[in-house]
Chain A
Amino acid sequence: MVKPPRPFTSERPVAGFTDSSETVTNKDILNAFHDLLANLPKVKPPRRFTSERTRAGGTGAGGAVTNNDLLQTFNDLSATLREMMDGASGKDETSADAEAESVEAPTGRDPVRDKVAKLKSADPDADKMLLARQELETVVKSTGTAANEIMNLSDELLAAAEKIRQGQSSGEAANIDDHLSLLEEISTNLLMACEFQDLTGQRINVVTNTLLGLEDLIDDLFQAMDISKGTGKGGLDATTADDQRPDTDLLHGPQDEGKGISQDEIDALFD
């Protein structure tokens, strides 16, 4: 956004009209252009006007400001404004300036760039993609731990059942209460082992919410770039782009119920 320029020379004479008849002269117009220049936001130094050297006078005879001087000044001003709007980095921009520009807040000069920049966190440790991946890795880890715990308890159940069977076959007096207490304890522990679902469910919700936020940002980007129809390959990626294994086209991952072939349909292929 360019600040509104202060009133032009033409709205109020700076030092009076240059012509005693109070007619607007070329010099008045030239001065107006220079006033406009003075009011432009100094994001970077504007190109030096060709006509700045003519501030004290034009290129015409006796220093008169010619129409050509005005046209040249107008063209210079136009070019400068265009450069500023494009946000182009000039040849004289230092690498430090370029670095600073890459992490600074939205400039307003390039709406698409500003939207893309929002996808990248200012703090690398807080990057959404990284954190979402870490959440899912934690889910895999904790479901693995829970599965092991449940299998351990399953082993204990089998052992308890075997103990009861052996007691029966050896004719020992059945200590039913002890066996039942053990089974109840294992049952309770099995129940508690299932609490992983609460925490993993919450973590997955966090990832889902993060994806929704990213989806909104990307939708904004599509709108800003006027993209209504995509050309990308849809669907989830069962493999990574650099997967070197043969037959990766056959790797689809687990399918939702009803989407993949059933065991009965598989059995029919083997009959």
Chain B
Amino acid sequence: MAVDKKMQILVVDDYQTMLRILTNLLKQLGFTNVDQAQDGGEALSKLNNSKIDFVISDWNMEPMTGIELLREVRSSDKLKHIPFIMITAESKTENVIAAKEAGVSNYIVKPFNAETLKGKMESVLGAF
């Protein structure tokens, strides 16, 4: 089934620069509906109040971290099916394992490139 590039993607990061990079990269990949949030709490609010089809989130944010957001999403009947990729500078094995156990769909370590982002999204959505 072809990937719907009109899907609503939510990017979550406390750094404006990274939000802009991700939004631009996604647009270059053909995904034009990209919303932004600057921490887990804001993201959760958007997830509960609008239709989000895919989440790309940082880990280290305040007051709610990305892994807390992931746990909230996976524990919600309404949200638990949403693909969730973590893009983060946290690069210890224990971080990846914790994220996996929390139900992350895939994990990208910073610094990353456009090809890696595309590859991990395709691993979840299928080739596009």
Contacts and interface: CB of A to CB of B under 8 A. Distances in A.
Q: Report whether chain A binds chain B.
A: yes
Interface of A: 144, 147-148, 151, 154-155, 238, 245-247, 250-255, 259-263, 265-266, 269-270
Which of A247, A254, A262, A266 has the most chain B CB atoms inside 10 A of its CB?
A266
A252 B90 contact: yes
A60 to B, nearest CB: 80
Nearest to A145: B17
Interface in B32-73: 59-60, 62-65, 67-68
A246 B100 contact: no
A218 B50 CA distance: 55
Interface string B68-111: 10000000000000000000011111111110100000111110
Contact of B16 (A144, A246, A259, A261): A144
A247 B92 contact: no
Interface of B: 15-17, 20-21, 24, 59-60, 62-65, 67-68, 89-98, 100, 106-110, 112, 116, 123
Contacts of B59: 251
Given A252-B90, A263-B109, A269 B96 contact: yes
A251 B90 contact: yes
8 contacts: A155-B24, A247-B67, A251-B90, A253-B90, A255-B92, A261-B109, A262-B109, A266-B108
A181 to B, nearest CB: 25
A151 B89 contact: no
Given A151-B20, A245-B68, A253 B89 contact: yes
A67 to B, nearest CB: 76
A56 to B, nearest CB: 77
Contact of B109 (A148, A250, A251, A266): A266
A247 B15 CA distance: 21
A270 B99 CA distance: 11
B91 A269 contact: no
Contacts of B64: 245
